[in-house]
Protein backbone atom coordinates (compact mmCIF):
# COMPACT_ATOMS: atom_id res chain seq x y z
CA UNK A 1 0.00 0.00 0.00
CA UNK A 2 2.69 2.44 1.03
CA UNK A 3 4.93 1.41 -1.86
CA UNK A 4 2.05 1.99 -4.29
CA UNK A 5 1.44 5.45 -2.82
CA UNK A 6 5.17 6.20 -3.06
CA UNK A 7 5.25 5.24 -6.75
CA UNK A 8 2.18 7.33 -7.57
CA UNK A 9 3.22 10.45 -5.67
CA UNK A 10 6.97 10.55 -6.17
CA UNK A 11 7.63 8.32 -9.13
CA UNK A 12 9.63 5.09 -8.94
CA UNK A 13 13.06 6.79 -8.91
CA UNK A 14 12.15 8.76 -5.78
CA UNK A 15 11.46 5.52 -3.96
CA UNK A 16 14.70 3.73 -4.87
CA UNK A 17 15.84 3.50 -1.24
CA UNK A 18 12.47 2.40 0.08
CA UNK A 19 12.44 -0.71 2.23
CA UNK A 20 9.35 -2.12 3.90
CA UNK A 21 8.97 -0.67 7.42
CA UNK A 22 8.39 -4.06 8.95
CA UNK A 23 12.01 -5.08 8.43
CA UNK A 24 13.27 -2.78 11.20
CA UNK A 25 12.99 -4.56 14.53
CA UNK A 26 14.96 -2.14 16.74
CA UNK A 27 16.63 1.23 16.12
CA UNK A 28 18.61 3.46 18.46
CA UNK A 29 21.35 6.08 18.75
CA UNK A 30 24.56 5.71 20.73
CA UNK A 31 27.31 8.14 21.60
CA UNK A 32 30.90 7.35 20.70
CA UNK A 33 34.18 9.19 21.03
CA UNK A 34 33.96 13.00 21.08
CA UNK A 35 30.90 14.21 19.21
CA UNK A 36 30.27 10.93 17.37
CA UNK A 37 26.65 9.76 17.25
CA UNK A 38 25.90 6.41 15.61
CA UNK A 39 22.52 5.24 14.39
CA UNK A 40 22.01 1.49 14.55
CA UNK A 41 19.13 -0.57 13.21
CA UNK A 42 18.47 -4.30 13.70
CA UNK A 43 16.68 -5.57 10.61
CA UNK A 44 15.27 -8.85 9.30
CA UNK A 45 16.77 -8.44 5.80
CA UNK A 46 20.38 -8.96 4.72
CA UNK A 47 20.48 -5.45 3.21
CA UNK A 48 20.34 -2.30 5.29
CA UNK A 49 17.57 0.26 4.95
CA UNK A 50 18.32 3.93 4.34
CA UNK A 51 18.49 6.33 7.24
CA UNK A 52 16.29 9.38 6.53
CA UNK A 53 18.04 12.47 7.89
CA UNK A 54 16.23 15.80 7.51
CA UNK A 55 14.30 14.33 4.59
CA UNK A 56 17.37 12.96 2.77
CA UNK A 57 18.39 9.34 2.56
CA UNK A 58 21.77 8.20 3.91
CA UNK A 59 22.90 4.63 3.31
CA UNK A 60 23.42 2.45 6.39
CA UNK A 61 26.25 -0.09 6.31
CA UNK A 62 26.15 -3.66 7.56
CA UNK A 63 27.97 -3.73 10.92
CA UNK A 64 27.23 -7.42 11.54
CA UNK A 65 25.37 -9.82 9.23
CA UNK A 66 22.93 -12.37 10.57
CA UNK A 67 24.97 -15.37 11.66
CA UNK A 68 25.22 -18.31 14.01
CA UNK A 69 28.32 -18.24 16.20
CA UNK A 70 29.49 -21.73 17.25
CA UNK A 71 29.15 -22.55 20.94
CA UNK A 72 32.21 -21.51 22.90
CA UNK A 73 33.33 -22.17 26.49
CA UNK A 74 31.18 -20.07 28.80
CA UNK A 75 31.15 -19.23 32.48
CA UNK A 76 28.01 -21.28 33.24
CA UNK A 77 29.15 -24.45 31.45
CA UNK A 78 25.91 -25.28 29.58
CA UNK A 79 25.89 -23.58 26.21
CA UNK A 80 24.68 -23.65 22.61
CA UNK A 81 25.49 -21.72 19.41
CA UNK A 82 24.52 -18.05 19.55
CA UNK A 83 22.11 -17.38 16.68
CA UNK A 84 21.82 -13.77 15.58
CA UNK A 85 18.95 -13.63 13.08
CA UNK A 86 18.97 -9.87 12.63
CA UNK A 87 21.40 -7.81 10.57
CA UNK A 88 22.98 -4.95 12.50
CA UNK A 89 23.10 -1.78 10.36
CA UNK A 90 24.96 1.40 11.17
CA UNK A 91 25.48 4.97 10.01
CA UNK A 92 27.07 8.03 11.60
CA UNK A 93 24.53 10.77 12.22
CA UNK A 94 25.64 14.07 10.62
CA UNK A 95 26.22 16.93 13.12
CA UNK A 96 23.21 19.23 13.41
CA UNK A 97 20.69 16.57 12.37
CA UNK A 98 17.16 17.75 13.13
CA UNK A 99 15.17 14.63 12.27
CA UNK A 100 16.22 11.03 11.74
CA UNK A 101 14.09 8.02 10.86
CA UNK A 102 14.74 4.43 9.90
CA UNK A 103 11.87 2.31 8.65
CA UNK A 104 8.85 3.38 10.69
CA UNK A 105 10.93 4.41 13.71
CA UNK A 106 11.82 8.00 14.54
CA UNK A 107 15.18 8.32 16.25
CA UNK A 108 15.68 10.72 19.18
CA UNK A 109 18.15 13.21 17.69
CA UNK A 110 20.75 14.50 20.17
CA UNK A 111 20.48 17.90 21.83
CA UNK A 112 23.63 20.05 21.79
CA UNK A 113 24.28 20.18 25.56
CA UNK A 114 22.40 17.41 27.40
CA UNK A 115 20.95 18.66 30.70
CA UNK A 116 18.85 15.71 31.84
CA UNK A 117 20.69 12.41 31.90
CA UNK A 118 18.97 9.18 32.95
CA UNK A 119 21.31 6.60 34.51
CA UNK A 120 20.39 2.91 34.82
CA UNK A 121 22.35 -0.26 35.46
CA UNK A 122 22.19 -4.05 35.87
CA UNK A 123 18.92 -4.53 34.06
CA UNK A 124 18.54 -8.14 32.82
CA UNK A 125 16.54 -11.05 34.25
CA UNK A 126 18.85 -13.40 36.14
CA UNK A 127 18.91 -17.04 35.06
CA UNK A 128 22.08 -18.52 36.52
CA UNK A 129 22.50 -22.21 37.25
CA UNK A 130 25.65 -21.94 39.41
CA UNK A 131 23.75 -19.86 41.98
CA UNK A 132 20.42 -21.61 41.39
CA UNK A 133 19.08 -18.09 40.80
CA UNK A 134 16.06 -17.80 38.50
CA UNK A 135 14.27 -14.46 38.52
CA UNK A 136 10.58 -14.39 37.47
CA UNK A 137 11.11 -12.81 34.06
CA UNK A 138 7.41 -12.31 33.28
CA UNK A 139 6.61 -10.64 36.60
CA UNK A 140 6.79 -6.84 36.38
CA UNK A 141 7.29 -6.56 40.13
CA UNK A 142 10.06 -9.13 40.38
CA UNK A 143 11.81 -8.15 37.13
CA UNK A 144 10.75 -4.54 36.55
CA UNK A 145 13.16 -3.38 33.83
CA UNK A 146 10.33 -2.66 31.36
CA UNK A 147 8.62 -0.60 34.07
CA UNK A 148 11.85 1.26 34.86
CA UNK A 149 12.44 1.97 31.15
CA UNK A 150 8.89 3.33 30.71
CA UNK A 151 9.15 5.52 33.80
CA UNK A 152 12.57 6.83 32.79
CA UNK A 153 11.38 7.57 29.24
CA UNK A 154 8.45 9.57 30.67
CA UNK A 155 11.04 11.92 32.22
CA UNK A 156 12.04 12.95 28.68
CA UNK A 157 15.81 12.70 29.16
CA UNK A 158 18.36 14.24 26.78
CA UNK A 159 20.72 11.29 27.21
CA UNK A 160 20.72 7.82 28.81
CA UNK A 161 23.72 6.14 30.45
CA UNK A 162 23.64 2.40 31.13
CA UNK A 163 26.46 1.45 33.50
CA UNK A 164 26.62 -2.16 32.32
CA UNK A 165 25.23 -5.71 32.73
CA UNK A 166 22.47 -5.90 30.13
CA UNK A 167 22.30 -9.68 29.68
CA UNK A 168 21.53 -12.13 32.49
CA UNK A 169 19.80 -15.18 30.93
CA UNK A 170 22.85 -17.44 30.79
CA UNK A 171 21.37 -20.80 31.83
CA UNK A 172 18.28 -22.68 30.64
CA UNK A 173 15.25 -22.44 32.89
CA UNK A 174 15.10 -25.75 34.83
CA UNK A 175 12.17 -28.07 34.13
CA UNK A 176 9.30 -27.27 36.46
CA UNK A 177 10.68 -23.83 37.40
CA UNK A 178 7.67 -21.56 36.92
CA UNK A 179 9.64 -18.31 37.45
CA UNK A 180 11.30 -18.41 34.07
CA UNK A 181 9.38 -21.10 32.11
CA UNK A 182 9.48 -20.45 28.38
CA UNK A 183 12.23 -17.84 28.54
CA UNK A 184 14.96 -17.85 25.90
CA UNK A 185 18.49 -18.38 27.24
CA UNK A 186 22.03 -18.30 25.92
CA UNK A 187 23.77 -15.51 24.06
CA UNK A 188 21.85 -15.12 20.79
CA UNK A 189 19.36 -12.61 19.45
CA UNK A 190 16.27 -14.07 21.14
CA UNK A 191 17.81 -13.59 24.58
CA UNK A 192 19.13 -10.11 23.82
CA UNK A 193 15.69 -9.09 22.54
CA UNK A 194 13.93 -10.47 25.64
CA UNK A 195 16.46 -9.21 28.19
CA UNK A 196 17.30 -5.82 26.69
CA UNK A 197 15.88 -4.55 23.38
CA UNK A 198 12.23 -5.37 24.09
CA UNK A 199 11.90 -3.85 27.57
CA UNK A 200 14.30 -0.98 26.77
CA UNK A 201 12.32 0.13 23.71
CA UNK A 202 10.62 3.25 25.16
CA UNK A 203 13.93 4.48 26.55
CA UNK A 204 15.85 3.68 23.35
CA UNK A 205 13.30 5.88 21.57
CA UNK A 206 13.61 8.69 24.12
CA UNK A 207 17.29 9.75 23.80
CA UNK A 208 20.74 8.66 22.58
CA UNK A 209 22.57 6.23 24.89
CA UNK A 210 26.05 5.82 26.30
CA UNK A 211 26.75 2.11 26.77
CA UNK A 212 29.23 0.96 29.43
CA UNK A 213 30.43 -2.66 29.30
CA UNK A 214 29.69 -4.84 32.33
CA UNK A 215 31.20 -8.16 33.42
CA UNK A 216 28.13 -9.89 31.95
CA UNK A 217 29.39 -8.68 28.56
CA UNK A 218 32.82 -10.28 28.87
CA UNK A 219 33.83 -12.77 26.16
CA UNK A 220 32.93 -15.82 28.25
CA UNK A 221 29.42 -14.43 28.73
CA UNK A 222 27.47 -12.07 26.41
CA UNK A 223 30.49 -10.45 24.72
CA UNK A 224 29.38 -11.35 21.19
CA UNK A 225 26.17 -9.35 21.57
CA UNK A 226 28.09 -6.52 23.23
CA UNK A 227 30.31 -6.02 20.18
CA UNK A 228 27.51 -6.46 17.63
CA UNK A 229 25.00 -4.17 19.28
CA UNK A 230 26.45 -1.81 21.87
CA UNK A 231 30.20 -1.23 21.50
CA UNK A 232 30.87 2.20 20.00
CA UNK A 233 34.02 1.26 18.02
CA UNK A 234 34.15 -0.49 14.62
CA UNK A 235 33.44 -4.23 14.77
CA UNK A 236 36.27 -6.54 13.68
CA UNK A 237 36.66 -10.30 13.95
CA UNK A 238 39.49 -9.77 16.44
CA UNK A 239 37.17 -7.66 18.62
CA UNK A 240 34.04 -9.78 18.54
CA UNK A 241 34.45 -12.50 21.21
CA UNK A 242 33.60 -15.00 18.43
CA UNK A 243 36.96 -16.77 18.62
CA UNK A 244 38.24 -17.71 22.09
CA UNK A 245 41.82 -17.59 20.71
CA UNK A 246 41.35 -13.83 20.29
CA UNK A 247 39.74 -13.10 23.63
CA UNK A 248 42.76 -11.19 24.82
CA UNK A 249 42.10 -8.44 22.26
CA UNK A 250 38.38 -8.38 22.94
CA UNK A 251 38.74 -8.44 26.73
CA UNK A 252 39.48 -4.72 26.93
CA UNK A 253 37.99 -1.86 24.96
CA UNK A 254 39.93 1.35 25.19
CA UNK A 255 38.58 4.15 27.38
CA UNK A 256 37.13 7.08 25.45
CA UNK A 257 35.64 10.49 26.19
CA UNK A 258 32.14 11.54 25.12
CA UNK A 259 31.79 15.30 24.71
CA UNK A 260 28.74 16.65 26.50
CA UNK A 261 29.59 20.30 25.85
CA UNK A 262 32.69 22.51 25.62
CA UNK A 263 33.41 22.07 29.36
CA UNK A 264 32.12 18.61 30.19
CA UNK A 265 33.06 15.05 29.22
CA UNK A 266 32.02 11.55 30.12
CA UNK A 267 34.91 9.09 30.41
CA UNK A 268 33.73 5.61 29.41
CA UNK A 269 35.85 2.84 30.96
CA UNK A 270 35.57 -0.91 30.30
CA UNK A 271 36.15 -2.77 33.58
CA UNK A 272 34.44 -5.98 32.40
CA UNK A 273 37.51 -8.18 32.89
CA UNK A 274 38.53 -6.50 36.11
CA UNK A 275 40.27 -9.19 38.16
CA UNK A 276 43.38 -7.62 39.58
CA UNK A 277 45.70 -4.63 39.42
CA UNK A 278 47.15 -5.74 36.09
CA UNK A 279 49.23 -3.68 33.69
CA UNK A 280 46.43 -3.23 31.17
CA UNK A 281 44.13 -1.60 33.71
CA UNK A 282 46.93 0.62 34.98
CA UNK A 283 47.59 1.82 31.42
CA UNK A 284 43.86 2.48 30.89
CA UNK A 285 43.57 4.39 34.16
CA UNK A 286 46.54 6.51 33.08
CA UNK A 287 44.60 7.23 29.88
CA UNK A 288 41.65 8.58 31.89
CA UNK A 289 43.71 11.56 33.02
CA UNK A 290 44.62 12.37 29.41
CA UNK A 291 41.02 12.05 28.24
CA UNK A 292 39.85 14.47 30.94
CA UNK A 293 42.61 17.04 30.35
CA UNK A 294 41.29 20.45 29.30
CA UNK A 295 37.72 19.84 30.51
CA UNK A 296 36.20 21.67 33.49
CA UNK A 297 34.16 18.64 34.53
CA UNK A 298 34.57 14.97 33.76
CA UNK A 299 32.35 12.11 34.90
CA UNK A 300 34.03 8.71 35.19
CA UNK A 301 31.81 5.79 34.11
CA UNK A 302 32.70 2.17 34.81
CA UNK A 303 30.65 -0.87 35.68
CA UNK A 304 32.77 -1.91 38.67
CA UNK A 305 32.82 0.68 41.43
CA UNK A 306 36.05 2.32 42.50
CA UNK A 307 35.15 4.20 45.69
CA UNK A 308 32.03 2.33 46.81
CA UNK A 309 30.95 -0.41 49.17
CA UNK A 310 30.03 -4.00 48.41
CA UNK A 311 27.46 -6.13 50.13
CA UNK A 312 28.69 -7.81 53.32
CA UNK A 313 29.23 -11.53 52.97
CA UNK A 314 28.32 -13.76 55.89
CA UNK A 315 29.96 -12.68 59.09
CA UNK A 316 32.35 -10.26 57.42
CA UNK A 317 32.36 -6.48 57.76
CA UNK A 318 31.20 -4.13 55.00
CA UNK A 319 34.11 -3.54 52.67
CA UNK A 320 34.99 -1.66 49.47
CA UNK A 321 33.50 -3.50 46.50
CA UNK A 322 36.63 -3.50 44.39
CA UNK A 323 40.05 -3.18 45.96
CA UNK A 324 41.46 -4.16 42.54
CA UNK A 325 40.03 -1.04 40.88
CA UNK A 326 41.50 1.15 43.64
CA UNK A 327 44.88 -0.58 43.34
CA UNK A 328 44.95 -0.15 39.54
CA UNK A 329 44.01 3.51 39.79
CA UNK A 330 46.63 4.18 42.46
CA UNK A 331 49.32 2.32 40.52
CA UNK A 332 48.55 4.44 37.43
CA UNK A 333 48.63 7.72 39.34
CA UNK A 334 51.64 7.38 41.64
CA UNK A 335 49.46 6.52 44.60
CA UNK A 336 46.74 9.14 44.03
CA UNK A 337 43.05 8.55 43.30
CA UNK A 338 40.99 10.60 40.81
CA UNK A 339 41.81 14.28 40.50
CA UNK A 340 39.94 17.24 38.97
CA UNK A 341 38.46 17.65 36.45
CA UNK A 342 37.14 14.16 37.28
CA UNK A 343 34.57 15.27 39.86
CA UNK A 344 31.96 12.52 39.76
CA UNK A 345 31.94 8.73 39.29
CA UNK A 346 28.97 6.54 38.28
CA UNK A 347 28.93 2.75 38.53
CA UNK A 348 26.78 -0.37 38.71
CA UNK A 349 27.54 -4.02 39.54
CA UNK A 350 26.18 -3.89 43.10
CA UNK A 351 22.39 -4.18 42.76
CA UNK A 352 21.35 -1.24 44.87
CA UNK A 353 21.56 2.55 45.16
CA UNK A 354 24.58 4.06 46.92
CA UNK A 355 25.61 7.71 47.18
CA UNK A 356 29.02 8.40 48.71
CA UNK A 357 30.67 11.72 49.51
CA UNK A 358 34.25 11.94 50.76
CA UNK A 359 36.66 14.11 52.63
CA UNK A 360 39.58 15.58 50.69
CA UNK A 361 41.11 13.13 48.21
CA UNK A 362 37.87 11.32 47.28
CA UNK A 363 35.43 11.73 44.39
CA UNK A 364 31.62 11.79 44.83
CA UNK A 365 30.31 8.41 43.71
CA UNK A 366 26.96 6.82 42.88
CA UNK A 367 26.28 3.12 42.44
CA UNK A 368 23.14 2.70 40.31
CA UNK A 369 22.84 -1.04 39.81
CA UNK A 370 19.17 -1.34 40.83
CA UNK A 371 17.32 -1.10 37.50
CA UNK A 372 15.94 -4.63 37.19
CA UNK A 373 18.21 -7.53 37.95
CA UNK A 374 17.67 -9.64 41.03
CA UNK A 375 18.67 -7.90 44.23
CA UNK A 376 21.26 -9.56 46.45
CA UNK A 377 20.85 -7.79 49.78
CA UNK A 378 21.18 -4.28 51.12
CA UNK A 379 23.54 -2.02 53.00
CA UNK A 380 22.52 -0.33 56.27
CA UNK A 381 21.60 3.36 56.13
CA UNK A 382 24.02 4.00 59.00
CA UNK A 383 27.47 2.64 58.33
CA UNK A 384 29.45 1.17 61.21
CA UNK A 385 32.43 3.36 62.11
CA UNK A 386 34.88 0.70 60.90
CA UNK A 387 33.41 0.87 57.38
CA UNK A 388 33.57 4.64 56.88
CA UNK A 389 36.75 4.62 54.82
CA UNK A 390 37.63 3.52 51.28
CA UNK A 391 41.08 3.50 49.76
CA UNK A 392 42.45 5.58 52.61
CA UNK A 393 39.81 8.31 52.15
CA UNK A 394 37.13 8.98 54.77
CA UNK A 395 33.48 8.61 53.76
CA UNK A 396 31.92 11.96 54.63
CA UNK A 397 28.35 11.15 53.55
CA UNK A 398 26.58 7.89 52.78
CA UNK A 399 23.05 7.28 51.53
CA UNK A 400 21.45 4.09 50.26
CA UNK A 401 17.96 2.86 49.49
CA UNK A 402 16.29 -0.48 48.99
CA UNK A 403 14.25 -1.17 45.87
CA UNK A 404 14.44 -0.90 42.09
CA UNK A 405 14.68 2.39 40.27
CA UNK A 406 16.67 4.75 38.08
CA UNK A 407 18.44 8.09 38.46
CA UNK A 408 18.30 11.46 36.73
CA UNK A 409 21.54 13.43 36.68
CA UNK A 410 21.16 17.16 36.03
CA UNK A 411 23.51 20.11 35.99
CA UNK A 412 23.19 22.55 38.86
CA UNK A 413 25.25 25.66 39.65
CA UNK A 414 28.27 24.37 37.76
CA UNK A 415 28.00 20.99 39.51
CA UNK A 416 25.55 18.10 39.55
CA UNK A 417 22.28 17.11 41.14
CA UNK A 418 21.09 13.52 41.07
CA UNK A 419 17.52 12.42 41.75
CA UNK A 420 16.82 8.78 42.52
CA UNK A 421 13.38 7.57 41.35
CA UNK A 422 11.53 4.39 42.17
CA UNK A 423 10.56 2.04 39.33
CA UNK A 424 7.28 3.88 38.74
CA UNK A 425 8.91 7.28 38.40
CA UNK A 426 8.29 8.63 41.90
CA UNK A 427 11.25 10.71 43.13
CA UNK A 428 12.72 9.25 46.31
CA UNK A 429 16.01 11.03 47.06
CA UNK A 430 17.62 14.23 45.81
CA UNK A 431 21.40 14.52 46.05
CA UNK A 432 23.37 17.73 45.63
CA UNK A 433 26.96 17.01 44.65
CA UNK A 434 29.65 19.34 45.97
CA UNK A 435 32.94 17.62 45.24
CA UNK A 436 34.45 15.83 47.07
CA UNK A 437 31.24 15.32 49.05
CA UNK A 438 27.48 15.31 48.52
CA UNK A 439 24.25 15.54 50.46
CA UNK A 440 21.03 13.64 49.83
CA UNK A 441 17.59 14.35 51.27
CA UNK A 442 14.18 12.82 50.84
CA UNK A 443 12.40 14.07 47.72
CA UNK A 444 9.25 16.08 48.33
Contact positions vs Fe ion (CB under 5 A):
165, 214-215, 349
Query: What's the closest the beta carbon of residue 164 comes to Fe ion, in angstroms?
Result: 6
In the complex, minimum distance from the CB of residue 323 to Fe ion, in angstroms, rounded to a whole number: 16
CB of 89 to Fe ion, least distance (A): 29
- Closest distance between Fe ion and the C-beta of residue 303, in Å? 6
Pairing of strands 67-69, 82-84: antiparallel
Nearer to Fe ion among residue 84 and residue 192 (C-beta): 192
Nearest Cα to Cα of residue 265 among 276, 254, 256, 274: 256
Nearer to Fe ion, 274 or 363 (CB): 274
- CB nearer to Fe ion: pick between 110 and 305: 305
What number of other Cβ atoms are within 10 A of residue 418's Cβ?
25
- For 207, phi and psi rounded to 5 degrees? -165, 160
Nearer to Fe ion, 215 or 328 (CB): 215
State the Cα–Cα distance between residues 76 and 171, nearest whole angstrom. Answer: 7
Nearer CB in complex with Fe ion: 165/195: 165
For residues 398 and 108, is the Cβ–Cβ distance under 8 A?
no
Euclidean distance between CA atoms 372 and 354, whole angstroms: 16
- Non-local (6+) Cβ contacts of 194 within 8 A are 125, 137, 169, 183, 184
**Shortest distance (Å) from residue 401 CB to Fe ion:** 19
- State which residue, 349 or 401, has the beta carbon closest to Fe ion: 349
Contact between 124 and 167 (Cβ < 8 Å): yes
Judged by CB, which is closer to Fe ion: 26, or 347? 347
Residue 227 or 416 with smaller CB distance to Fe ion: 227
Please choose, from the candidates 107, 89, 92, 14, the residue with its C-alpha nearest in 3D space to the C-alpha of residue 48: 89
SS3 content of the chain, % helix, strand, coil (to 5): 20, 30, 50
> Among candidates 35, 48, 138, which has minimal Cα distance to 89?
48
3-state secondary structure of 130: helix
Q: How far is the CB of 264 from Fe ion (least distance, A)?
A: 26
Q: State which H helix or E strand residue 393 sits in.
A: strand 393-401
Q: Regarding beta strands 415-422 and 297-302, do their DSSP bridges make them parallel or antiparallel, or are they unpaired?
A: unpaired
Helical (H) or strand (E) element with 283:
helix 279-292
The residue among 319 and 394 lying less far from Fe ion, judged by its C-beta, is: 319
Task: Give the whole-angstrom CA distance, residue 129 versus residue 134.
Answer: 8
The residue nearest Fe ion at its CB is: 349
Amino acid sequence: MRRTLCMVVLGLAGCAGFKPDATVEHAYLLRGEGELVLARALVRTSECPALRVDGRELPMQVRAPASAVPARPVAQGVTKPARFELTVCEAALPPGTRTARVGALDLPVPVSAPQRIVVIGDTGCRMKQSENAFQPCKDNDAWPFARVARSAAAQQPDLVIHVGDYHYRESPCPAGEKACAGSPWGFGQDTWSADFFGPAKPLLRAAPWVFVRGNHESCSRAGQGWFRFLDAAPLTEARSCNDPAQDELAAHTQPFAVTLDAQTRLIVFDSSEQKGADAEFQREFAEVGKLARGAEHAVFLSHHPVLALGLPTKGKPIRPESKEMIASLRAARDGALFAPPVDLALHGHVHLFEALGFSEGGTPTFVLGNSGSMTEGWLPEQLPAASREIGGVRIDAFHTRQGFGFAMLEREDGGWRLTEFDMDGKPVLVCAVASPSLRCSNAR
